Structure 1
Amino acid sequence: MGADDEQARIAPVQDAGDLDRLAAVARYEILDAPPDGAFDRIAALAARWFHAPIATVTIVDKDRVWLTAAHGLEGVRQLGPEPALCASAVLPKAPYVVSDVLLDPRASDNPLVRAAMGVRFYAAAPIVTRDGHRLGTINVLDVEPREVTAAGLAALQDLAEIVMDQLEQRLSALRTVRAERQLRRQADEHRAEIEQFAGTLQRTLLPPALPEVPGLELACHYHTASARDVGGDFYDVFALPDGRWAFFLGDVCGHGAPAAALTSMTRYSLRAAALHDPDPIRVLSEVNGVLLQDPATENRFATVIYGIVEEDAGVPDGVLVTLGTGGHEPPLRLRAGKQGLDVGCTSAVEAGPRRVGMLVGAVPDAYFMTWRLTLRPGETLLLYTDGLTDTAVGGEQLGQDGVARLLSKGRGCAAADVVRDLVANIAGFDPPPRDDIALLALGVPGG
């Protein structure tokens, strides 16, 4: 590293002349904000991953470093812009590591080093916006010198990206609440505007497209019961660091901006917990704790089914699915039969009582259910929300058995065919569904 590069890394942030970066910091409205349980959770995850006593999420302003979360530094909300730690770590594009601050002239005079706690190790990953502005850092600190592995730095970078996702979702929720308040006052005059607003917000709570998953065919659909209200149904499919894939589908109580905020928090918490824990029950338990700890979600809860997909070594071209459910009906499995489609509950539910666990975010000691099944070539797993089963058809609720009857008359059990057939049936329901409906189908091609 040359002298000019070194000087750039230790210079105070206000000398960098990065007015665009400071404008981006202001845009996210996080400075001086009250504590946020989501960021606190990320800091706790970072500390646990590194087995370190201190982890922080910081935003670097012109003349201070704002601690959005401070695990192990309770009561500390901001620091000065002294170089070599947070204020300098925001400058590089890559993670920033000081293995022993006493041996590093960039950091040895920092107040965190000179203070009673005597910080000796520091690692940080920058929090970067989609347009390339570095807002701050997620940091891990220890009182002993240490080295950090490439896997550790990759995990820290992943957490920094999750912080950025949460900042985006938080900003979207803030703007949404403000916009909704204004639009509600003009509802009678501007119904079309409200419907457009609700549709836009709804789209932000769902993935824009499903990923390509090797060995699986995916299909999804979201039916909105009201064009004027944001629903609380959600789903997602995403890759895990170990090569497996995770998916979830759920339904939060209520509609409108409160439901949107709860949906956003639940989706983020599921993805964050899945990064560090392979067990669906523990993932649901962690999300349960997050919802209970946040005062914004008081008296609100969700039903969730969460699963992991991996290769099944015992079944050629088959996949092993591990499911956990919190108050959500188990999915339906479809396979080709002698007289059309065979539709039934997953095998574990067929063999025992239909227990689906408890609601997520309702009580502290909630229990959740789990089971495993193998999807063979030609089979599809269908997840759905209760807007489908609660729909009245012929004066009676459709129920899971009614959904199975509809599917048994379908054109095939490929994921796309299953969803397409259900969408056609939903369009013909009279009266139409009174609640939103989310569908997610995972199929194994072949068979």
Structure 2
Amino acid sequence: MCRTDQAPEPGDEYEVDATDAVFISLLEDSAEELYDQAPCGYLSTLMDGTIAKANATLLEWLGLERSRVVGRMRFTDLLTVGGRLYHETHFAPLLQMKGEVSGIALDLKAAGKQRMPVLVTSKVKTSQDGKPLLIRTTVFDARDRRAYEQELLRGRQAAEEAARQAKAAREQAEADRGLQEALAALQQSLLPSQLPAVPGLEASSYYHTACPDLLGGDFYDLFPLDADRWGFFLGDVCGKGPQAAAVTSLTRYTLRATALHDSDPVAVLTTLNTVLHERYACGDTRYCTAIFGVLEPADGHISVRLASGGHPSALVQRADGSAYYLHTPGGLLIGVLPDAPFAAARTRLLPGDTLLLYTDGLTEARTGPDRGLYGEDALQAFTIAQPPAGPQALITALTGLLASFGEGLDDDTALLALGVPAPTPTTVSDNLV
């Protein structure tokens, strides 16, 4: 065995083990075999592109026999249509000018009519006097690289799409918030910002919006008629959306303007009926229900005159804890017929009494396992169960009731309570002599 740490002397004999023998055998592979079985494709072409030589690796990729390629095909015949165009317009002119090109991405027509992405490097071999003889080309398999690039591209596109969708979602959310704010502002413009202070009267109201994306048609108001009398109304326009809001606005201003000229409740509703019927008689029929009334304070009580057009009856809660409906039967929907009858009623509110007006979103709420209507009887029983503590206390209790309905409350609901405050109890000091 020769020692590898010192130079051999002439005449020395060496022993060769099995590992050295294999190594020497590999070194003895012919250059032709290394060329033919290389992990990349090799080919040589004449200057006109005719293939003069191609290794087995390239032929295997293409699924072609050597006899069909060498001397019979040009390099461009191996390329796809797009590859041939690129070769003619870019690859070949660049090779002619520089004598070599490196790492050009092309597609070959591989076996099975598949596209095979490759990276091509070509160099012109010249004679000693510089005359071009042939073109040597190396072809590298770029399928894994192309797949990786495509995966990166898909990932980038997915990220961009996710970012685009997120941006669109944010913009839509902002638009929805803006729309809801605009709708809320418009809805609020159809209601009094706050109820006026009336001497000797306590008033409270509440409005529940079932869907913030739609304008509701419920409305109410309390306003002065003159120095001694006050008008009030509450109603519900059919439908939702901008059309309902338009009818609501027309109804509110008609009621207010009419009452200043003739405050009789039946006369006020009759005028409103005429206005709505003439306005909506043709095309999209619109109507509403409403209660209109007049409050006139007197000594120790408030006189109430009201009229109803198709609206649920007002509910009176007395100071003794009883509660009953102030029935107004026979009142027709407002705006349906040119001449509609309206029902009138009167009552007096004494200290501790409360008059409640509401829209049918309250009584038509769905409750219980069978999803039945809440109904007027249940509302009367609920009111009787509440201590007669005045309009604000009753509205607060009803607000909690509405919240308890959850998804069963699917319609807008307006509440208006008017009452005479109960006298404040006087206390006598135990120390008073």
Structure-2 separation of matches of 1:355 and 1:269: 24
Q: Map 1:154-233 to 2 at 5 A.
A: 190-233=175-218
Question: Number of aligned pairs?
Answer: 250
Q: Is the 8 A contact 1:393 1:430 kept in 2?
A: no
Local SS of the residue matching 1:416: helix
The one-letter amino acid paired with 1:393 is T
Which residue of structure 2 lines up, in the alignment, with residue 276 of structure 1?
261
Which of these residues, 357, 364, 384, is aligned with residue 383 of structure 1?
Answer: 357
- Are the counterparts in 1 of residues 330 and 341 from structure 2 also a CA contact under 8 Å? no
> Following TM superposition, by how much is the alpha carbon of 1:235 offset from its aligned partner in structure 2, in angstroms?
0.3
Q: Would the alpha carbon gap of residues 422 and 189 (structure 1) be closer, same or farther in structure 2, given more than 3 Å must change? A: same
Q: CA deviation at 1:372?
A: 0.7
- The equivalent residue for 2:405 is 429
In structure 1, the residue corresponding to 2:308 is in which secondary structure? Answer: strand
Measured against aligned partners, the alpha-carbon deviations of 1:19-67 in whole angstroms (never above 9, x if no partner) come to xxxxxxxxxxxxxxxxxxxxxxxxxxxxxxxxxxxxxxxxxxxxxxxxx
2:324 to 344, 363, 368: 344
Is 1:305 the counterpart of 2:285? The answer is no
CA distance in 2, matches of 1:412, 1:241: 30
Q: Is the 8 A contact 2:301 2:348 kept in 1?
A: yes
Per-residue CA deviations over 1:180-209 (Å, capped at 9, x if unaligned) read xxxxxx977732222112111100000000
Q: 8 Å contact 1:310–1:321 — kept in the other structure? A: yes
Q: Note closer, same or farther for the CA distance 1:297–1:388 as it changes in structure 2 (3 Å cut).
A: farther
What do you get for the CA RMSD once the two structures are aligned? 1.8
How far apart are the structure 1 equivalents of 2:399 and 2:306?
A: 25
Q: Distance in 2 between matches of 1:297 and 1:414?
A: 45
In the TM superposition, 1:143-154 aligns within 5 A as: none
Q: How does 1:54-133 map to 2 (within 5 A)?
A: none
The amino acid of 1:365's aligned partner reads D
SS at structure 1 position matched to 2:400: helix
1:170 corresponds in structure 2 to none
The CA deviation string for residues 346-374 of structure 1, in whole angstroms up to 9 with x for no partner, is 2xx2xxxx614001111101110001111
Q: Supply the AA of the counterpart residue of 2:295.
A: V
Percent identical among aligned pairs is 43
Larger Rg: 2
Deviations, residues 281-327 of structure 1 (Å, cap 9, x unaligned): 11100011111122488411000100001034xxx410110011000
Cα deviation for residue 274 of structure 1 reads: 0.2
Shift of 1:402: 1.0
Whichever residue aligns with residue 228 of structure 2, its letter is G
Q: Report the TM-score, using the length of structure 1 for normalisation.
A: 0.54
Change (3 A) 1:187 1:246: farther
1:102 counterpart residue number:
none
In structure 2, relative to structure 1, the CA distance for the partners of 1:200 and 1:356 (3 Å cut) is: farther
Deviation of 1:409 after TM superposition, in Å, equals 2.4
Letter in 2 for 1:289: T
Q: Secondary structure at the match of 2:231?
A: strand
- 3-state SS of 1:388 partner: coil
Cα deviation for residue 430 of structure 1 reads: 3.5
Q: Does 1:326 align with 2:309?
A: yes
In structure 1, the residue matched to 2:250 is 265
CA contact 2:228–2:297 (8 Å) conserved in 1: no
1: CA distance between counterparts of 2:172 and 2:240? 16
Distance 2:389 2:380 in 1: 12
Q: Give 1:438's aligned residue.
A: 414
- Give 3-state SS (helix, strand or coil) of 2:407's partner: coil
Partner SS, residue 352 of structure 2: coil
Conservation of the 8 A alpha-carbon contact between 1:426 and 1:432:
no
Name the residue aligned to 2:332. 358
User: In structure 2, what residue type is equivalent to 1:421?
Assistant: A
Secondary structure of the 2:245 match is helix
Contact 2:269 2:334 (C-alpha < 8 Å) held by counterparts: yes
Which SS does the other structure have where 1:386 is aligned? Answer: coil
* Consecutive unaligned residues in structure 1, runs of 5 or more: 1-185
Q: Is the 8 A contact 2:353 2:388 kept in 1?
A: no
Cα distance, 1:408 vs structure 2: 2.2
The match for 2:238 is: 253
Q: Structure 1 residues 404 and 228, CA, compared in 2 at 3 Å: closer, same or farther? A: same
Partner of 1:163: none
Deviations 1:118-160 (A, max 9, x none): xxxxxxxxxxxxxxxxxxxxxxxxxxxxxxxxxxxxxxxxxxx
Distance in 2, matches of 1:446 and 1:297, equals 51
CA distance in 2 between partners of 1:440 and 1:191 (Å): 30
Q: Tell me by how many angstroms 1:343 deviates.
A: 1.5
Distance in 2 of aligned mates of 1:224 and 1:356: 29
Distance in 2, Cα, partners of 1:199 & 1:245: 28
Aligned to 2:318: 335
Give the Cα separation in 2 of the matches to 1:195 and 1:402: 33
Distance 1:307 1:279, change over 3 A: same
Which amino acid counterpart does residue 332 of structure 1 have in structure 2? L
Does the Cα contact within 8 Å between 1:329 and 1:356 map onto a contact in 2? no
